[in-house]
Amino acid sequence: MAQTPVKVTVTGAAGQIGYALLFRIASGQLLGADVPVKLSLLEIPQAVKAAEGTAMELDDCAFPLLSGIEITDDPNTAFDGASVALLVGAMPRKAGMERGDLLEANGGIFGPQGKAINDNAADDIRVLVVGNPANTNALIAQQHAPDVPAERFTAMTRLDHNRALSQLAAKLQVPVTEIKKMTIWGNHSATQYPDLFHAEVGGKIAAEQVDEAWLRDTFIPTVAKRGAAIIEARGASSAASAANAAIDHVYDWVNGTEWTSAAIPSDGSYGVPEGIISSFPVASRDGKWEIIQGLEIDAFSRERIDASVRELTEERDAVRQLGLI
């Protein structure tokens, strides 16, 4: 193997997304079929043994690209020299917990992890936050990593993007590959806005190929509440599809794409307050996300983008008040 292995750190590695994710990373799907990887699994002490079990299975796959596995409960060790960090482990919402409690609990995780990334990661570190509330957890981690360029902290809305592709493809009876320029705006939450006014199917605007009632009353809520529907059906939150979206996000970030959705720090584009980590239509060029500019936003879209962005600014204000950023 000529190339130096790239260190990829996965937090919450013993969880259900971790189990769906690690084997795909090790097989070369995250970075490319010719890029050797070294995996670092970060877990809480109680789950280290389970992570060791997953590592045994990774060994048993004899992946040609997997050059080593490290398992630790110490963030400084886990992120030491890492070029990709997938922050999956988070505190799930429990009965009786308010949103503020959830933000506070996650602040206790993502603040120290952001600092450990700041102090130990490689210069080219790229961070994807999957653990919910993903956008605000990414903001917390970023704010604890002043030496890392701010745009290296991103949150995942690619699962929402893929869900939107799949719902529209089913409605129009076309392959997903015929759909271009899909966009998710805002927060990875029920307020997100999947936008069909810029999406194209067969070269024509998607919104003009479906009736308005379906777009408003079926498409948008189905995509936005899909996470809850999966929990209801499966008795557990999405895992394989979330892992798949994480792979898509990082692969495109590193290898380039002309159009997808990712939550990245706002530069003020489209009236989204600078600094919050919000989903936009993005391209990836030379290993950097760029917000696609120049889209006309009509009143219908404006109202929905604003509502989701408002939720993000409220989350930012709440974590500020809690002293987490």
Q: Work out whether 182 is an interface residue with ligand NAD (CB under 6 A).
A: no
End-to-end Cα spacing for the chain: 42
**Please, what is the minimum distance in Å from the beta carbon of residue 180 to ligand NAD?**
22
User: Would you state the torsion angle of the CA atoms of residues 192, 193, 199, 201, taken in this order, to the nearest 10 degrees?
Assistant: 80
Q: Toward ligand LMR, which CB reaches closer, 58 or 182? A: 182
**Please, what is the minimum distance in Å from the beta carbon of residue 128 to ligand NAD?**
9
Q: Is the dihedral of CA 223, 225, 265, 90 positive or negative?
A: negative
Stretch that binds ligand LMR, among 38-46, 106-114, 175-183, 226-234 (CB under 6 A): 226-234
Asked if residue 75 has a cis previous peptide bond (ω within 30° of 0), the answer is no
Convert residues 223-262 into a mask of x (bound to ligand NAD by CB under 6 A) and - (unbound).
--------------xxx--x--------------------
Helix, strand, coil % over all residues of the chain, rounded to 5? 45, 20, 35
CA distance 244 to 161: 12
Stretch that binds ligand NAD, among 8-16, 146-154, 174-182, 307-315 (CB under 6 A): 8-16
Q: Work out whether 228 is an interface residue with ligand LMR (CB under 6 A).
A: yes
Tokens of 269: 């584009």
Cβ-contact 26, 19 below 8 angstroms: no
Q: Which of residues 128-167 bind ligand LMR (CB under 6 A)?
A: 132, 159
**Please, what is the minimum distance in Å from the beta carbon of residue 313 to ligand LMR?**
20
13 known member of a binding site: yes
Strands (E), 24-131: 37-42, 66-72, 84-87, 126-129
Convert residues 187-206 into a mask of x (bound to ligand NAD by CB under 6 A) and - (unbound).
-x------------------
CA nearest neighbour of 324 among 48, 105, 56, 77: 105
Name the strand (E) or helix (H) holding 277: strand 277-285
Quick check: is 188 catalytic?
yes
Written as one string, the DSSP assignment of 192-229 is: -EEE-SS-EETTEEGGGGS-HHIIIIIIHHHHHTHHHH
Q: 324 touches which of ligand LMR, ligand NAD, none (CB within 5 to 8 A by kind)?
A: none
Stretch that binds ligand NAD, among 130-138, 140-148, 214-222, 296-304 (CB under 6 A): 130-138
Catalytic sites, residue numbers: 188
Residue positions forming the annotated binding site for substrate: 93, 99, 132, 163
Instruction: Enumerate binding residues for ligand NAD (CB under 6 A).
Output: 11-12, 14-18, 42-44, 47, 88-90, 92, 109, 130-132, 134, 156, 159, 188, 237-239, 242
Annotated binding site for NAD(+): 12-18, 106, 113, 130-132
> Which residues lie near ligand LMR (CB under 6 A)?
132, 159, 227-228, 230, 237-238
